[in-house]
Amino acid sequence: MKNKKKIIISNRLPIQIERKKDKLIIKPSAGGLATGLNSAFDSTEICWVGWPGIVPKDNSEKEKIIALLKPMNLLPVFLSKEEIHNFYEGYSNEVLWPICHYQPSYIHFDQEYWSTYVAVNKKFCDAALSIQDAPDFIWVQDYQLMLLPQLLRQENQELNIGYFHHIPFPSEELFMNLPQRKELIEGLLGADLVGFHTFADSQNFLNACKKVLHVPCGHNQLKYSDRHIFVESFPMGIDYDKFVHTSSLPEVNAIATQFRSHFPDQKIIISVDRLDYSKGILERLRAFLTFLEKYPEWHSKVVLYMLIVPSRDKVSQYKKLKDEINRKVSEINSIYGNLSWTPVLYFYKSLPFEELIGLYIASDICMITSTRDGMNLVSKEYIACKTNSDGVLILSEFAGASKELVDALIINPYNRTETADSIYHAIRMPPEEIRERTEANRQIIQKFNVHHWVRLFLDRMAETKAIQRDEWARRISDKVFNSIAERYKQSHNRLFFLDYDGTLVKFQNHAQKASPTVLLYNLLDSIIADPLNTLVIISGRSQESLSTWFDGRSYYLVAEHGIWSNFPNFNWAYKKGLALHWMPEVKKLMEKLADQTPGAYIEAKPYSLAWHYRKVEQGLGELKATELKEILNPMLNDYGLQLLDGNAVIEVKNTEVNKGKAALEIAGHIKADFLLAIGDDVTDEDLFKYLPRSTISIKVGNNKSAAKYYLDQQEDVLQFLNQLIINHEGK
Ligand SMILES: Nc1ncnc2c1ncn2[C@@H]1O[C@H](COP(=O)(O)OP(=O)(O)O[C@H]2O[C@H](CO)[C@@H](O)[C@H](O)[C@H]2O)[C@@H](O)[C@H]1O
Ligand SMILES: O=P(O)(O)OC[C@H](O)CO
């Protein structure tokens, strides 16, 4: 295999091999992933790894297939019959597919399914790694390969890995039912960038990460295994130009005219899907039946033409569905059909591309009734082909496409009457309205085409890597540590500003429990044992708390973000003249919200108020904190207050004080030649910003910060300080 810079890995290759009388024939693969993605790349820029859709009868046929695919830069992964049964039909399509499409009752689980899923993912990993020379990017596609990103990462930490999930990602409530939820989430987090069709899917995934791994997540990212991983939505598009071009060809229009001529006085409604319960085929038929019941004046004047491509016919739910569709079609036709009119025409086959486009051109209405669909490309293909003809798109709100094609007639496919009425509305829609709606949808489909989709994903991937590289540079590596240690050694007057909660001690569910340990006292004592060192603990804590823990020791203390300080003579003093008249009102509002929120509590300090929600149920705490911020925001200016959005705490205090101002005042007196500031919270950002540029500022956690460096977690702070001192003592 020629070395390639990009590798795409999907369960199915964009082509499939069929054996006809001992001859191997190449045919395009069915399904949105293969059709959509195949348009996006020139085969010379990539190598595509996947299953060729055939079980070779012997080694010689295997070699033939490899040779046949090699010039197209396709690398086949061969699966045995057993693997197809357990991995593809089994875990992929009897467990993951139903859960991702909100049909948990269709799940059928067998222990063999899972072990084969793991083994086949490894097989794909080995195949990808067999390609010589590291690629600059590996793009893993879809739910059949959810473990693959992590397997690749384990083999090579340096790889750039993207993953795209083509189907919906279920709500965390549903996903939590999967016994293998942790393995699947960890599998995906081997990627640097995880993409979904819709924003809702990306949020469902992040919520599942929070629940399963207990890691904090932002709205589009999370930190796991020392890497920032981005999770975003990239709505997939189609090869717009290809559809527009094909629909303008005379031979394709001839197909359309011929098709139309079979239904001279009738409105044609089409539907095009793989045979799948997620496509809402039965719901569509039921709605059509309701339409015929409700609007008898349209009898003989409408046909529903359903094109269904065979899919997963060995999976029992699919077999059952096929029988049910047959029964429902017969029922409708036998109730309403007559010698000159068959209301539903149903074809179970795949059509060549030009014929499919001819059908799109000829039809008046396209009906998409998915009960869940990652995107649904058919809806986009239909609109793209409507350059010279009119057509109305009826689109399920449960298809990802409904988030973009908002000018379609959006329906709830479970609501038969609403769907039937939308058929009635579509049939009678004035041409002007049809054109307006089609045009609005077309503009979106044209811009957000498949090439745009690939470009967006690749660009974001490059940005993700740049952010990761920047993070690595800010991280305190051995090299950075050595240079800090050297500065420490060379200096004669050192000043340490250390935040308390989240920096010197771990967060506790109850603030009072986070008292200093003997180990911490020992560490702090060892810092001030060196006469060249001055230590300041600078915290949002009350003066009372710091006093209880540290009075009598030779550390300076700054409490309530600078309101109280015992610098320079170890006697506590507070900043005079601070207004307090705002406190009763703010406290009342905080109490109201605390009463509505189990687990929330107020910490009333003499000069500031904090609303803590660390013990509140995940999600509810954040929601109530946002509500509190909205209530407090309009008062801040009037009272001259500052709101600090901290780690599970909202704190309100006077604007005149902050940790930065307090620290700067002390630094002005000490005139240190070695200044170190460590903190984890938003309130510590003032510290990093106010202190001189030469300060060695360190943030705990690698969130966006004004600090120069970061340490991963609180425990690392203690280790860092210990090493700095020990390193120096042993000089
Ligand atoms: N009878 C027929 N003859 C010829 N061609 C036919 C056909 N029936 C369908 N097709 C083609 O197959 C593709 C189907 O793609 P969809 O996006 O509609 O669904 P699918 O579930 O396969 O894709 C999965 O991947 C895509 C892409 O990510 C997601 O949109 C979707 O939600 C997800 O389930 C279309 O390109 C269509 O033209
Ligand atoms: O035919 P399948 O099972 O490979 O599925 C095709 C769909 O595009 C899956 O996303």
Closest listed residue to residue 402, CA positions, set 693, 197, 154: 197
Q: What are the residue ranges spanned by the domains of the chain?
A: 6-233, 240-448, 475-575+657-727, 582-654
Q: Which atom of ligand 1 is least distant from the CA of 308?
A: 1
Ligand 2 contacts CB of residue 166 (under 6 A): yes
How much is the pLDDT for 4? Answer: 52
Ligand 2 contacts CB of residue 89 (under 6 A): no
Give every residue of the chain whose pLDDT is below 50, as ranges: 1-3
Q: Confirm whether 6-233 and 240-448 share one CATH topology.
A: yes
**Has 499 been annotated as catalytic?**
yes
Q: Into which CATH architecture does domain 582-654 fall?
A: Alpha-Beta Complex (3.90)
Q: For residue 36, how far is its CA from the centre of ligand 2 (angstroms)?
A: 11
Which residues fall within 8 angstroms of residue 483, CB to CB, at 6 or more apart? none
How much is the pLDDT for 372? Answer: 98
pLDDT digits (tens, 9 = 90+) for 20-49: 988 999 998 876 677 777 777 777 778 999
Q: Contact 419/412 with Cβ under 8 angstroms?
A: yes
How much is the pLDDT for 731? Answer: 58
Q: Write the residue with the smallest CA distance to atom 11 of ligand 1.
A: 31
| Residues near ligand 1 (Cβ within 6 A) | 30-33, 35-36, 166-167, 236, 272-274, 307, 309, 350-351, 356, 373-378, 381
**Helices 620-639 and 583-595, axial angle in degrees (round to 10):** 170
Catalytic one of 201, 239, 407, 499: 499
Cα angle: 142, vertex 146, 151; to 5 degrees: 130
Q: Nearest ligand to the C-alpha of residue 400?
A: 1
Q: Across the beta sheet with 649-654, what order do the strands follow?
A: 601-605, 608-612, 649-654, 641-646
Q: Encoding tokens for residue 690?
A: 């106010």
Q: Encoding tokens for residue 107?
A: 């799940």
CATH number, domain 6-233? 3.40.50.2000
Q: Determine how β-strand 23-28 pairs with β-strand 601-605.
A: unpaired
Ligand 2 contacts CB of residue 30 (under 6 A): yes
* Pairwise CA distance, residues 144 & 118, whole Å: 10
Backbone angles phi, psi at 24, to 5 degrees: -95, 125
Q: Which atom of ligand 1 is least distant from the CA of 400?
A: 32
CATH number, domain 475-575+657-727? 3.40.50.1000
* Pairwise CA distance, residues 671 & 656, whole Å: 23
How much is the pLDDT for 726? Answer: 85
Per-residue burial over 267-289, b if 16 or more Cβ lie within 10 Å, else e, is bbbbbbbbbbbbbbbbbbbbbbb
Topology (CATH) of 240-448: Rossmann fold (3.40.50)
